[in-house]
Structure 1
């Protein structure tokens, strides 16, 4: 720094030195005041280029870890939805097993067991409702084989995957009791035809879904539970040589039409309905196997003023009747299998939730450490900054005073001219 020479007044070196010091103090004071105002030690790359780069990287990492924690929270919420519905299904199955156990009692009559069957069908409807309601973001959780992949880190390699197929609830796959019996309904209308008139009647049978209406061409329909079958009696209103055709359509547990193998073979499904014809005289038995284990027999169709055809429906795989002790016990075995599947699903959910919890704890620690490093580099020490600001404020005042004195110093030369 140049020394002031007050005998040379063309340039006031002392005042210039004081002014320069005042500028430096003002600049330093502005920096500390900005840090106090923002709480950050680095407010621009010019403050600390290396620190700015490091802190920016740490900030991005912290943000990514926060998103990963949100992803885990969302996954745990999905698991909670699945757990809640599976728990409800387990409780319903427990009630169904109790009802089946009640039906496995030969002291019960047909009416009592029919009432139990009605309850079981209602319970099954509720199970289907639970499965349908188990959704997350429009995805069916319990009825869709889907892998869920979630980001649990700051790179694409840090991911967790869980498969809802571990506890998928599929009609006819993990469960074999889709509805405990068949729901058979028909119109009660009466249609009079001449003895030689050809009549076509369509009978729809639904199981596991709302029973379907039939056409008004059937005289009457009576359904009764008999030796594990539903028996449907179709009465003709006249005798003669006329031809009557009955078309049977079967729908599965979702209300969809199932395929029918017309010749009873295991392959070569040809349609969704079976037609059989009976005339006013003679006998024309017919049988067909459906793809879901249902056997429909049409036999003993004879002539007469009130000729009748008897159709037996065996529910081989889709469900189980509880009309006898043996059937009720078999149904209990199916419920036990379903309960095992549900319990396996709940166990899987518990394992995945624990896995996510451990990952959540790990990410929480990582985020905390990242934030600590960022804080050390980026954020200001407020106590230190206030100390520096106070010091510089005082220096600003003294530098201003010294500048005023330095400006007045050259006036001393005037005394030489008196």
Structure 2
């Protein structure tokens, strides 16, 4: 028997200490509701759950960002709704003014209302803002401007359809020797069964300032001359361009046995028609488009580098979409390199928890100058008709912008739904790692509490063991 080292007491004390530490941890978890209160509780679990927490908080903020983005777009769209209404009213007034029942004074009165509506459109474009950020004055747009002589003969500067494109110098290339005219009969009529009714070849088309798209050949006033053998037919032939404007009309024999080409219109807007292809009264429609190989390049500080592969594309109403750009060509397309500068001021909405998880929104300037209606007047019949055409284009332009914003808004609503689902599932996973299972912890606490009481009792018993030595000393 030894009294200097009470091994049984030390053993009981060690177990008591262990039980007390376990009870302490149980109480900490039960009182905090967390399974991990410090890194020592679960080092790997802490690292994983902290990463999840950053994602969860980022997702929650991205959800709020998306909602703010929708609010911004709704503000812009609300302003454009009023611009749309004013354009519709201006078009209505232009139609009214085009009628020659109006006197000079009547048209001047109509013009006064149009002028006021133009002022209000410019006012809305300049003043509409969200959180002090201007929306419709062009400060949130992606602008392009030619930096050379436009050798490919684009009708307008390139329009950016991908607002994520970086600011810089770009080049659109139409590959040499790849341009060809494509004709398609979209509406048979007037006995026309072939696109050969348009006799203008590629070179002749490129010499004219015509638009690509659908041309209408209208045949009327058929006259049959039976005095000749064989009998001959004559008709009035009128050609309308893709915008619906008449290039001109001409009387000519039709349905001849051999080719008979006439010119309708005057240079530089003239087209050749083979009247031998026409045999009846009616309307035929033929699309004239171009096919060519296109590529888009960006200047890297030294030279222009491809950002797209060369691709053979057929225009659609003179338009191609390639490399994030929308390019409008006329029939005078030529091969070459058109260079332009792109300035990107689009709004970036952070719709994800991580770097570069964003969506770019560009809102073009919507002043009367940009809409092309700043100088319209209805003071005579011709001017009023021209105003109708320009207002129609402005209405189409506003509709396209509103449509794009509406589509983006729908996209963000789906983004919000996805963020909410992801947030929910990540929170569930993080909870399994970080949160305490209260039932399990209470079970552990009960077990450890009983063990603690038992250890205390055993320590008391072990402390009594050395007193047995006294019995030896008394004998």
User: TM-score under structure 1 normalisation?
Assistant: 0.58
Alpha-carbon shift at residue 29 of structure 1 (Å)? 0.8
Q: 1:172 to 1:128 in 2, by over 3 A?
A: closer
What secondary structure, in the 3-state scheme, does the structure 1 residue paired with 2:416 have?
helix
| Residue matched to 1:177 | 373
Alpha-carbon shift at residue 412 of structure 1 (Å)? 4.5
2:39 is aligned with 1:45: yes
Pick aligned residue for 2:417 from 348, 361, 371: 361
What secondary structure, in the 3-state scheme, does the structure 1 residue paired with 2:5 have?
coil
Alpha-carbon shift at residue 355 of structure 1 (Å)? 2.5
Q: Per-residue displacement from partner, 1:104-134 (whole Å, max 9, x unpaired)?
A: 4444444443333222222222212221222
Output the CA distance in 2 between the equivalents of 1:390 and 1:122: 83
2:16 is aligned with 1:15: no
Which one has more relative contact order, counting CA pairs under 8 Å at least 6 apart? Answer: 2
Alpha-carbon shift at residue 403 of structure 1 (Å)? 2.3
Output the CA distance in 1 between the equivalents of 2:394 and 2:447: 78
Q: Per-residue displacement from partner, 1:271-330 (whole Å, max 9, x unpaired)?
A: xxxxxxxxxxxxxxxxxxxxxxxxxxxxxxxxxxxxxxxxxxxxxxx221x233443333
Alpha-carbon shift at residue 89 of structure 1 (Å)? 0.8
| Residue matched to 1:319 | 376
Q: CA RMSD in A?
A: 2.5
Alpha-carbon shift at residue 413 of structure 1 (Å)? 4.6
Alpha-carbon shift at residue 47 of structure 1 (Å)? 1.3
| Residue matched to 2:66 | 72
Poorly superposed stretches of 4+, deviation over 6 Å = none
Output the CA distance in 1 between the equivalents of 2:446 and 2:87: 75
Alpha-carbon shift at residue 340 of structure 1 (Å)? 0.7
Structure 1 segments unaligned to the other structure (5+ residues): 1-6, 179-317
2:395 is aligned with 1:401: no
Structure 2 segments unaligned to the other structure (5+ residues): 142-344
Output the CA distance in 2 between the equivalents of 1:94 and 1:171: 14
Q: How many residues align?
A: 269
Q: Per-residue displacement from partner, 1:35-87 (whole Å, max 9, x unpaired)?
A: 12222211222111211222222222223333333332332222111111111
Work out whether residues 118 and 368 of structure 2, in 8 Å CA contact, stay in contact via their aligned partners in 1.
no
2:433 is aligned with 1:377: yes
Higher strand share: 2
Higher-Rg member (1/2) = 1
Output the CA distance in 2 between the equivalents of 1:52 and 1:377: 8
Alpha-carbon shift at residue 100 of structure 1 (Å)? 2.8
Q: Per-residue displacement from partner, 1:150-181 (whole Å, max 9, x unpaired)?
A: 3333443433223223xx314423x2322xxx
What secondary structure, in the 3-state scheme, does the structure 2 residue paired with 1:172 have?
helix
| Residue matched to 2:389 | 333
What secondary structure, in the 3-state scheme, does the structure 2 residue paired with 1:17 have?
helix
| Residue matched to 1:351 | 407
User: TM-score under structure 2 normalisation?
Assistant: 0.52
Q: Which moved more, 1:55-64 or 1:43-52?
A: 55-64
What secondary structure, in the 3-state scheme, does the structure 2 residue paired with 1:84 have?
helix
What secondary structure, in the 3-state scheme, does the structure 2 residue paired with 1:340 have?
helix
2:363 is aligned with 1:164: yes
2:121 is aligned with 1:127: yes
| Residue matched to 1:239 | none
